[in-house]
Amino acid sequence: MQLSVLALASFILVAPLLGRANNAVPAPPSVSATGYLLIDTDSDTVLAARDAEQRLEPASLTKIMTAYVVFRELQGGSIKLSDQVLVSEKAWKTPGSRMFIEVNTRVSVEDLLKGMVVQSGNDASVALAEHVAGSEEAFANLMNDHSQRLGMFDTHFVNATGLPDPEHYTTPRDITVVSEAMIREFPEPYRLYSVREFTYNDIRQKNRNELLWRDTNVDGIKTGHTSAAGYCLVASAQRDGMRLISVVMGTDSEKSRARESLALLNYGFRFFETHRLYGADDRLTRARVWMGDREQVALGLERDLFVTIPRRQYDNLEARTEIDPQLQAPLSKGQKVGEVVVELNGEVIKREPLVALENIPEGGIWRTVVDTVLIMLE
């Protein structure tokens, strides 16, 4: 690879923090859970983890995917919030947590979403699944299709609720993937996860996410519990523009899942900081192109580049580009031509594809002849 120094100071974050020091980050807190994960959503940096790839029973964490599928259907226009859903006997009889809908009554999709997200209603989950796909089994197929599309390769769903089944499982890492996707794709519907209580059929129920009361930075996401899965919690919080997601699965009590989640979130916010280094489509550099109708092409990124680093280490960041040698036309906009490499104290912490920001068609015969000779002389 040909190295090219990325020496455009205007692309480096403005107003770096003062008082840099090579302070070591302490070890993450000891977490009493079968598996856990703490991740920054912008940089996708894992800050703490144990057995994050282990397949575990998700219990009602399943409903994160259930909601994601419903949000996708709403966005696509195949269903509406105002749709009146006829409650089936199956939905009405579904065991576990409930919003207390009644068989053969009609309930709006909007209320069913609140009943599923805020009250963790299994009955609401099944009613929504049947409305979207005709049956819960068909809806589970949709859930699995989205899982594969999102890269959740260690996840498989057989229902919309999280009720136990040997073939129903996910991992802490996979559940962060759909959580991040929901927050990114559906910021407005996601606000529903911060609602603390919902009343339906004259029955008021509180959100089971205790952290909504304990930390004002927390705005979601979902609790879960079965005897086999233990007590689980996916929590997300945003502080000073930095969003973290924590996953704890297999704790021994409601208090434990809240305590361990809060410990992870506080650890992340206390000892790390996230920076946006470059924006999507920013022109980072230019490179020579052979055989094209122009001699140079503008290069940049397809998406914003974020890094999460220990606090007070920003001044120790360095970035460079690695560009494929002898780029030849035609080049298409978005085509990968190298990488942007970010280092902290000499260690590579991030690689992002460097892409062409414009189309470069092939040049004429004269350009081809000239460039062929120049390449031979190099």
Print pLDDT tens along the chain (378 aa).
233 333 332 233 322 222 334 457 999 999 999 999 999 999 999 999 999 999 999 999 999 999 999 999 999 999 999 999 999 999 999 999 999 999 999 999 999 999 999 999 999 999 999 999 999 999 999 999 999 999 999 999 999 999 999 999 999 999 999 999 999 999 999 999 999 999 999 999 999 999 999 999 999 999 999 999 999 999 999 999 999 999 999 999 999 999 999 999 999 999 999 999 999 989 999 999 988 899 999 999 999 999 999 999 999 999 999 999 889 989 999 999 999 999 999 999 999 999 999 999 987 776 665 656 566 767
Alpha-helical segments (H) within the chain:
62-76, 89-93, 109-117, 122-133, 136-150, 172-185, 187-190, 211-214, 254-271, 365-377
Catalytic residue among 43, 60, 147, 256: 60
Active site residue 120: yes
Looking at the structure, do residues 73 and 183 belong to the same domain, yes or no?
Answer: yes
Same domain, 55 and 172: yes
Are residues 87 and 101 in contact, defined by beta-carbon separation less than 8 angstroms?
yes
* Residues 327, 297: Cα–Cα separation, whole Å: 9
Question: How many domains does one find in the chain?
Answer: 2
Active site residue 63: yes
Which CATH number belongs to the domain containing residue 175 in this structure? 3.40.710.10
Q: Considering 239, 268, 297, which residue would you say is the last residue of a domain?
A: 268
308 and 221 together in one domain: no
Q: Distance from CA of residue 236 to its chain's centroid?
A: 11
Do 207 and 309 belong to one domain? no
The answer to whether residue 256 is catalytic is: no
What is the per-residue pLDDT for 16?
Answer: 29
pLDDT of residue 66: 98
Structural domain range at position 296: 279-377
Q: Are residues 241 and 285 in the same domain?
A: no
114 CA to centre of own chain? 22
- The residue from 43, 88, 97, 120 that is catalytic is 120
- One-letter amino acid at 66 equals T
Q: Is 49 in contact with 130 (CB distance < 8 Å)?
A: no
